[in-house]
Amino acid sequence: MARGKFITFEGIDGAGKTTHLAWFRERLEEKLSATGRAVVVTREPGGTPLGEALRELLLHQRMDLETEALLMFAARREHLAQVIEPALARGDWVLSDRFTDATFAYQGGGRGLPRDKLETLERWVQGGFEPDLTVLFDVAPETASERRGAVRAPDKFESETEGFFARTRAEYLRRAEEAPYRFAIIDATKSIERIRETLNDVIAAL
């Protein structure tokens, strides 16, 4: 069977990407049902036992910025080796809640880690591997902040300032402009119905 496709969902906290991920998975499974391919849903940081243990540290433990970036990529290497690459080789499609764009956006844009350090880690951990498609849910930081506050107690990233999320969003948009061939940008201020219409178009294009 031909290699599967790798799709990532991205956006600042409160953009709504996770809300739409389960729905997207169901539609994708319907489209693939006759092909014998499965849809594997995963997340970053996380996706493996080691990755999930690192996730708890990354979301709740204060640490040096470079330590944070190194742990993100350590979890990603394990994720690629244990989950993503084997699934794609089987012909399955992989849908991940965040991937490398999030590290550039959060540790790079938001926290200010120099981009060349992240690019070095990206080359080491991934080689030339990247998603076939990245769906970016774009929303203003103030809107995202209102949404986050209504849902749950925040982790250390969700507790950051609007300035942090403005920088994070800007880096996401810079990445999208740099690689338009793999990004689909969703206006996350639209209604759920309108967003799902757009996602249907995304699935049809795949």
Residues with Cβ within 8 Å of 53's Cβ and at least 6 positions away in sequence, in order, are none
Mean per-residue pLDDT, 137-146: 89
CB 21 within 8 A of CB 58: no
124 Cα distance to chain centroid: 19
Q: How far is CA 30 from CA 38, 71, 90, 95, 142, in A?
A: 10, 36, 19, 14, 36
Q: What is the pLDDT of residues 91-128, one digit of tens each?
A: 999 999 999 999 999 999 999 999 999 999 999 999 99
Supply the pLDDT for residue 150.
Answer: 56
This prediction's pTM:
0.94
Strand (E) or helix (H) holding 39: strand 39-43
Q: SS3 breakdown of the chain: % helix, strand, coil, rounded to 5?
A: 55, 15, 30
Q: How far is CA 51 from CA 21, 31, 46, 72, 99, in A?
A: 20, 30, 4, 9, 13
Summarize the annotated binding site for ATP as residue ranges: 11-18
Supply the pLDDT for residue 152.
Answer: 62
Supply the pLDDT for residue 125.
Answer: 98
Tell me what the pLDDT averaged over the chain comes to: 94
Q: What is the pLDDT of residues 143-181, one digit of tens each?
A: 888 776 655 667 888 888 889 999 999 999 999 999 999
Task: Domain ranges for the chain, please list them.
Answer: 6-42+84-151+160-205
Q: What is the CATH number of domain 6-42+84-151+160-205?
A: 3.40.50.300
Degrees to nearest 5, angle at CA 130 with 125 and 132: 155
Summarize the annotated binding site as residue ranges: 11-18
